[in-house]
Amino acid sequence: MSSKTGSAPTIFDVAEQAGVSIKTVSRVLNRESGVHDKTREKVLKVVATLKYRPKLSARSLAGARSYLIGLLYYDPSAAFVAGVQRGATLRCRELGYHLVVESMHNDAADIDSQVDRVISALRPDGMILTPPLCDNPKVLKMLRDSDTPYVLLSPGRAVKGRPSVVIDDVHAAEEVTNLLISLGHETIAFIQGPPDQAASGLRLEGFQRAMKNHGLKVDADLIQPGDFTFHTGVEAAHRLLSRRVKPTAVFAGNDDMALGVLAAAQRLGLSVPADLSVAGFDDSPAASLVWPALTTVRQPVDLMARVAVDMLVPPPASAAPAEDLGNHRVQPYELVVRDSTSARRSELAGVKVLGSQRYEASGI
């Protein structure tokens, strides 16, 4: 009896009961090739019987891998993190990895030492970064200096040497704009995000491209600045709706600002979408919890996180040589059309109509 009762079984217990060496047990567990089928079966049987599970710390100390993936984030939308984590933890589990999360303030003066501490202690096999950390030079420098592989999720801008997973913001924004145009809108406003986030510029680009492709003019003041918050959406809406010629549709660079537009419109007695169509970007949870529900773009956040994990975890030795998909993976977005957008009610753009509502199409 080599196993003391009470303590968890070790690789020695398995080896003894299976009548092989610990090296062979190790081979089976790591799916290495070159083990006799009979031997493999015998080992697996004992593993199942004893409920043996290799201890991560021992594997990590002895070997070159830690089986840990780190997720560094700072306060992006809760929905974004939640989606990332769902995708990442599930994929990690499939691969025998675990996800360690660390939230840190993007503007902390000692953020590099914070990152260093995490890396040194954990020695993760890879790191996933979300905005805005994925654009933080200090953080990126620490990762490079420590030779820690990393993947950026939706980085502000794609940089050559930095592996990333993104969607095509330009095309997505173009599609949203095309939708509004196809509904008959011509005076369409756009609310931009903060200039330091590349998504802001890309989405604006998509908007402008669609307008141009349809020969629609965009007055300068139809493009309003914002910073991705509800509040700036409200303010931009007020500016837009006090124009002489009011827009009949507003495309906000993200959902929070679109919700601000919605609130402002309702506050002014405008009916959405009859008087004003509103579209956002992100498909945040709130987008479907308001009335009318918001037309928006959904990023496949959990899929993106899965892809990030796959980019960090080396494929099993037994696997077929994977084709090189490159370091910048573009994932498909989805246009989600809901009730906040509709055809123009009339040609009387700018005429305020009170109290009317659209009953027929609403899901509620």
- Give the nearest distance from C-beta 320 to a second copy in angstroms: 27
Task: Give the per-residue contact string, 280-309, with a second copy (x = CB under 8 A; - = no).
Answer: ----xxx-xxxx------------------
Three-state secondary structure of 31-64: CCCCCCHHHHHHHHHHHHHHCCCCCHHHHHHHCC
Among residues 22 and 268, whose Cβ is nearest to DNA? 22
CA–CA dist 253, 229 (Å, integer) = 10
Under the binding rule (CB under 8 A), the answer on residue 172 touching a second copy is no
Under the binding rule (CB under 7 A), the answer on residue 98 touching DNA is no
Task: Give the per-residue contact string, 87-106, with a second copy (x = CB under 8 A; - = no).
Answer: --xx--x--x-xxxxxx---
Under the binding rule (CB under 7 A), the answer on residue 20 touching DNA is yes
Q: Which of 101, 90, 112, 30 is nearest to 68 (CA)?
A: 101
Which residues, in sequence order, are bridge partners of residue 70?
100, 127
Under the binding rule (CB under 7 A), the answer on residue 5 touching DNA is no
Task: Give the per-residue contact string, 321-360, with a second copy (x = CB under 8 A; - = no).
Answer: ---------------------------------xx-x-x-
Three-class DSSP category at 304? helix
CA–CA dist 168, 9 (Å, integer) = 50
Among residues 202 and 258, whose Cβ is nearest to a second copy? 258
CA–CA dist 75, 81 (Å, integer) = 8
Options 28-36, 244-252, 276-284, 325-333: segment touching DNA (CB under 7 A): 28-36
CA–CA dist 327, 311 (Å, integer) = 8
Would strands 334-336 and 296-298 be described as parallel, antiparallel, or unpaired?
Answer: antiparallel
CA–CA dist 259, 276 (Å, integer) = 13
Type and span of the H or E element at 25: helix 22-29
Under the binding rule (CB under 8 A), the answer on residue 8 touching a second copy is yes
Under the binding rule (CB under 7 A), the answer on residue 38 touching DNA is yes
128 token code pair: 């996933």
The option from a second copy, DNA, none interacting with 34 (CB < 5 to 8 A, set by class) reads DNA
CA–CA dist 108, 129 (Å, integer) = 16
The option from a second copy, DNA, none interacting with 291 (CB < 5 to 8 A, set by class) reads a second copy
Q: Would you tell me which residues interact with a second copy (CB under 8 A)? A: 8, 51, 53-58, 60-61, 66-68, 75, 77-79, 81-83, 85-86, 89-90, 93, 96, 98-103, 114, 116-118, 120-123, 230, 234, 256, 259-260, 262-264, 266-267, 269, 284-286, 288-291, 354-355, 357, 359, 362, 364
